[in-house]
């Protein structure tokens, strides 16, 4: 039994946690290995995050799996990541399904290798009726591109008379994003000690709590996740209001 988990208030959980899984390469180099060694040893950390969410009933977990900028990395590393993604999906699909989780993917899937895309679609189809929780993988994802594509789509709909300019607001705009069916992010976690967002869910984290951890991703444990939730619960989320206003709501 985790003592940290016991500190969590089940009535004050974030609905949506997003994680920038950073530090695989540095973890590997610190052990005298190639960067790809770090990626291969990061799977347990992914399981820890998924299982932790599942245990305390957080309904949405989004993992920054592969960014649009990651395509510029060395070909060997990209190929390893793609192969590892397929292998992991093959190994974990049954586990994801048995936990009652539904898997979603956001990003530009058209440029993924067909084997990767087919495997992602297979797991999404397998889990589409699950209702226990939602695992969202951001793959070939970049937030600036997502926002630009939303603007282009709205512009097309305005030209075709489907949308009136005066009706464009935050809610309408969100309906053009990959995440239109998901709640906004309440808590964003980044590992490895880096303090930046890296083009991840820029719109969706507008009022998220941000936590930057001095731990490399392969060392991420369930207790670290639970501590992040405890720290989140110790924050007063004001959404632009004063503390006094929040207390009387």
In this structure, are residues 12 and 233 in contact, taking their beta carbons and an 8 Å threshold? yes
In this structure, are residues 202 and 173 in contact, taking their beta carbons and an 8 Å threshold? no
CA nearest to 124, candidates 76, 72, 48, 181: 181
Question: Which residue in 48, 54, 70, 130 is the catalytic one?
Answer: 70
- DSSP-derived secondary structure for the chain: --TTGGG--TTS--SEEEEE---HHHHHHTTT--HHHHHHTTHHHHHHHHHHHHHHT-SEEEEEEEEGGGGGS-HHHHHHHHHHHHHHHHHHHHHHHHTTEEEEEES-GGGS-HHHHHHHHHHHHHHTT--SEEEEEEEEE-HHHHHHHHHHHHHHHHHTTSS-GGG--HHHHHTTSTTTTSPPPSEEEE-TT-----SSSTTTTTT-EEEE-SS-GGG--HHHHHHHHHHHHTS---TTS-HHHHHT-
Tokens of 144: 């600036």
Query: What residues form DSSP beta bridges with 64?
Result: 20, 138
79 a catalytic residue = no
Residues labelled catalytic: 22, 70
């Amino acid at each position: 039994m985790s003592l940290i988990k016991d500190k969590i208030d089940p009535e004050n959980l974030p609905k949506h946690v997003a994680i920038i899984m950073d530090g695989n390469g540095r973890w590997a180099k610190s052990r005298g290995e190639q960067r790809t060694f770090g990626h291969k040893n990061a799977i347990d950390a992914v399981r820890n995050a998924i299982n932790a969410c599942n245990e305390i009933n957080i309904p949405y977990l989004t993992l920054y799996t592969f960014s649009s900028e990651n395509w510029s990395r060395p070909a060997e590393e990209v190929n390893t990541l793609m192969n590892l993604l397929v292998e992991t999906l093959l190994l974990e699909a049954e586990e994801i399904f048995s936990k009652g989780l539904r898997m979603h993917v956001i990003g530009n899937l058209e440029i993924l290798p067909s084997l990767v895309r087919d495997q992602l679609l297979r797991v999404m189809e397998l889990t589409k009726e699950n209702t226990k929780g939602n695992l969202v993988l951001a793959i070939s994802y970049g937030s600036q591109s997502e926002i630009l594509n939303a603007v282009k789509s709205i512009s097309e709909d305005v030209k075709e008379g489907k949308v009136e300019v005066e009706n464009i607001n935050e809610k309408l705009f969100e309906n053009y994003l990959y995440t239109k069916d998901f709640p906004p992010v309440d808590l964003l976690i980044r590992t490895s000690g880096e303090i930046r967002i890296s083009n991840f869910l820029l719109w969706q984290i507008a009022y998220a709590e941000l936590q930057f951890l001095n731990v490399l991703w392969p060392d991420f444990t369930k207790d670290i996740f639970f501590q992040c939730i405890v720290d989140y619960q110790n924050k007063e989320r004001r959404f632009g209001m004063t503390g006094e206003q929040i207390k009387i709501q």
